[in-house]
């Protein structure tokens, strides 16, 4: 792990990952890529981690995307990994839910990192955007196909074609942002959401998300098959037995996550 990415336990079963380069709006360099990739792999391997919150340090930016100094120095390929794509994150086939806690700018690759998360919490003063076309670039970390999935089509196309910024309040109104928070309140709001997720059975959450993430990419027949496979894997979990037992005994379930 590097100082460019900080990892801590925020609450039981909730891990907080912080991009820690506030002096450059948490731009992604080689250290961020290595640190985020390591944090992602470690959270996937840790049975005690059920939800991860991803944020940026400093309160001014979630992330401004790729560090252009790295790009200018010819190290653009070092800002991605084979398994995870940009920042070691945007294309990683993870199972556990991640929540982006955005406070400030989430633009370019920073917006793409947020879109790669399952849920987004943002402060009222935050903004999103893919300004790449203004610089004769293409948002290559998933932004140009993920943005139309979470926004009305024409709004997404306008943002991509013009490079304009999208205020968080408008993103919330369109459903791209799950919850709005006051400035400085992104992580606490994300923790509330993470706590609600942790109240559910972790295996059932992960298996359900596997299918839900593919909902716009696969046909119904494929999704029915994947749903059946997810149900069969869930049936093998200890939590599958605990849920009905707790209901019958009129008590809160004690999930173990396996």
Catalytic position from the list 112, 158, 207, 242: 112
Strands 61-63 and 51-56: unpaired
The residue-averaged pLDDT of 155-174 equals 97
8-state DSSP, 28: B
Whole-angstrom distance, CA of residue 30 vs CA of residue 21 = 12
Rounded to 10 degrees, what is the CA torsion of 104, 64, 110, 133? 120
Catalytic position from the list 124, 132, 158, 232: 132
Q: Which CATH superfamily is domain 5-198 in?
A: 2-enoyl-CoA Hydratase; Chain A, domain 1 (3.90.226.10)
Three-state DSSP string of 70-82: HHHCCCHHHHEEC
pLDDT in tens, 212-247: 999 988 999 999 999 999 999 999 998 898 888 888
pLDDT higher for 249 or 60?
60
pLDDT in tens, 120-134: 999 999 999 999 999
pLDDT higher for 258 or 31?
31
Instruction: Please report, for the chain, the start and end positions of each structural domain, with discontinuous segments joined by +.
Output: 5-198, 202-248
pLDDT of 1 > 70? The answer is no
Q: Can you give the pLDDT at residue 247?
A: 85
> Per-residue confidence at 249, pLDDT binned at 50, 70, 90?
confident
Q: Can you give the pLDDT at residue 166?
A: 98
pLDDT of 86 > 60? The answer is yes
- Report whether 256 contacts 238 (CB < 8 A): yes
Catalytic residue status for 112: yes
> Per-residue confidence at 251, pLDDT binned at 50, 70, 90?
confident
Catalytic residue status for 132: yes
Average pLDDT, the chain: 94
């Amino acid at each position: 792990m590097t100082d460019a990415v900080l990892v801590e336990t925020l609450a039981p079963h909730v891990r907080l990952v912080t991009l820690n380069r506030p002096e450059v709006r948490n731009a992604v360099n080689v250290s961020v890529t290595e640190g985020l990739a390591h944090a992602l792999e470690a959270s996937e391997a840790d049975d005690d981690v059920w939800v991860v919150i991803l944020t940026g340090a400093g309160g001014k930016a979630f992330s401004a995307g790729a560090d252009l100094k790295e790009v200018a120095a010819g190290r653009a390929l070092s800002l991605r990994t084979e398994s995870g794509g940009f920042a070691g994150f945007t294309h990683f086939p993870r199972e556990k839910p991640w929540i982006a806690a955005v406070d400030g700018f989430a633009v370019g690759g920073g917006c793409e990192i947020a879109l790669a998360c399952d849920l987004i919490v943002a402060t009222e003063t935050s903004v999103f955007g893919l300004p790449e076309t203004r610089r004769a670039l293409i948002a290559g970390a998933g932004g140009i196909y993920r943005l139309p999935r979470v926004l009305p089509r024409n709004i997404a196309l306008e943002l991509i074609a013009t490079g304009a910024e999208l205020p968080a309040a408008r993103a919330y109104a369109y459903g791209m942002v799950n919850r709005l928070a006051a400035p400085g309140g992104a992580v606490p709001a994300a923790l509330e959401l993470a706590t609600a997720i942790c109240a559910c059975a972790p295996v059932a959450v992960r298996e359900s998300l596997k299918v839900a993430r593919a909902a716009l990419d696969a046909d119904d027949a494929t999704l029915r098959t994947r749903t059946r496979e997810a149900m069969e894997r869930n049936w093998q979990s200890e939590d599958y037995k605990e849920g009905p037992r707790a209901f019958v005994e009129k008590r809160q379930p004690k999930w173990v996550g396996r």
